[in-house]
Amino acid sequence: MNFRRRAVNNLMFFFLFLTGALVLTSCGGGSSTTTTTTTTTPAANNSVDLTVGFGPNGQAGGYINGVFTTVTICQAGTSTCTDVPNVLVDTGSVGLRVLSSAISSLTLSAIKDTSGDALQECIQYGDTSFSWGPVLLADVKLGGETAASLPIQSIGGNTFAVPSSNCLTMPVNPALPNNGNEDTVAALGSNGILGIGDGIWDCGTGCANVSTGSTYSGYPYYICPSGSCEEIGVPTSDQAANPVAAFSSSDKNGVIITLPAVPSNGTTSVTGTLTFGIATQSNNALGSQTIFGVDACGDLPTVTYNSQQYTDTACTSNTGTGGLGAIFDTGSNALYVLDATTLSPLGISDCTATGYYCVTGGGTATISNIALLGYNSVGSGTVSVNIGDATTLLNANPTFAAYNNLGSDSGSGPSTDFFDFGLPFFLGKTIYISIGGQTVSGVSNAPNGFVAF
């Protein structure tokens, strides 16, 4: 099977790397008479620009607090490339997904099994919408960084019907545009999603051994022999993967997001920087930030607010369902924290017209003393967020797309609530997000990765 062959190749690379490492080690550990020559590779340009704004749909139907960048996508191993602008930068997912219409000038190779069936992926989103399309190999370039021959998902343009009974395990809500199918710019609000969150792969090692045709609810990977699609196990080397973790440089252990502050009534748009690597170059060193360890799901496991504990019980199957603790997610366009009933003492209420929180009297409310505790108690501290009155904010300046104080409910009450520190939280801050399973110099106590600010 082709899937397996690629896995073996990766193993070979690993051995080559290991051999290289041994050679390097023996050079450094040699006698004092040995002359070692150090060849320094010039540091890669490890940053790209970010824009917070409406995105490609503009003011009417566009994002509020969307954060976008440009990704260069090339036919693997060639200089045939295209720039895809307005790709959503998402620390809440893993893998690059691009609308097929945005890469129509390229011919990207499919990943096939021995029968010639191309690998397909079905991704469900939390709002019951979904994306469907093949996994293709591309060279992905961000600034001076390259992830060569990376599996990415091409969204839409698929000749096969979405395997609704196997993948679409959530009933699609009719209020979603395009019947929940995120295969157009109008529906997705971007040309694609650059998933640079905590993980290396979008499905993980557990998805390698799934037997073909097993009914595995919510499972993403399929092949479609003779037009009907069935689940297939996929080794991590063929899964849609975090481009950062696949960089050829050493800047592959995480990202840093720097965005400027905005006024409390918002602004049209701002630009910032996405820097690759943590403690690998002079521009990405860790300083006095607090490092919060994340759990196996990339979430902060424990938050305490007003004497109530909000834990990521959903991550540990043994302890049950409930909330998600805290997440730091540029792909969430607002501060999805607590719920309106819990926050009513602060004058915060649900505003059905806008879908965001409103504040009595049209002012701003501060949710303060939100106590964060990292995984294995690595990292603790308190943060506060401001919640503005959405009706006032959005009506006053319809051309504004960047707000640091738009909020909304997370769950439906304390037992299901959590803290999704979305894009507004990142405004005016520099936030480090490491990738679990990658090494960061000087940090040894965060096995699943960390968030630092």
Partner 1 sequence: MKNIVWLAFLLVIVSCPAWAALGQYEGSISLDKQALKSEDQVRAFPAYKVHQLTTTHGVTVREYVSAQGLVFGVSWGGRFMPDLHQLLGNYVNNVQSASASETHIRHLRGITIKTSDFVFTNFGHMQSWAGSAYVPSMIPANVTAEVVR
Residues in contact with partner 1 by the rule CB under 8 A: 63, 92-94, 124-129, 169-176, 182, 189, 195, 197, 199, 202-204, 206, 216-219, 297-299, 312-315, 317-318, 320-324, 327, 329, 331-334, 336, 350, 352, 355, 408-416, 418, 420
Q: How many residues does the chain have?
A: 453
Cβ 414 to partner 1 shortest distance, Å: 6
Q: Which amino acid is at 348?
A: I
C-alpha separations of 137 from 152, 184, 240, 342 in Å: 6, 21, 9, 47
For partner 1, the closer of residues 81 and 170 by Cβ is 170
CB 229 within 8 A of CB 164: no
Cβ 327 to partner 1 shortest distance, Å: 7
For partner 1, the closer of residues 146 and 236 by Cβ is 236
For partner 1, the closer of residues 188 and 274 by Cβ is 188
For partner 1, the closer of residues 44 and 240 by Cβ is 240
For partner 1, the closer of residues 171 and 345 by Cβ is 171
Cβ 78 to partner 1 shortest distance, Å: 30
- Sequence-distant (6+) residues with CB within 8 A of 3 are 111, 113, 119, 234, 235, 238
CB 84 within 8 A of CB 71: yes
For partner 1, the closer of residues 278 and 314 by Cβ is 314
Cβ 28 to partner 1 shortest distance, Å: 39
Cβ 452 to partner 1 shortest distance, Å: 19
For partner 1, the closer of residues 238 and 420 by Cβ is 420
For partner 1, the closer of residues 47 and 65 by Cβ is 65
For partner 1, the closer of residues 329 and 389 by Cβ is 329
Cβ 409 to partner 1 shortest distance, Å: 7
Count CA atoms within 13 Å of residue 273 on its CB side.
14
Cβ 317 to partner 1 shortest distance, Å: 5
Q: Which amino acid is at 393?
A: L
Cβ 93 to partner 1 shortest distance, Å: 4
Cβ 275 to partner 1 shortest distance, Å: 22
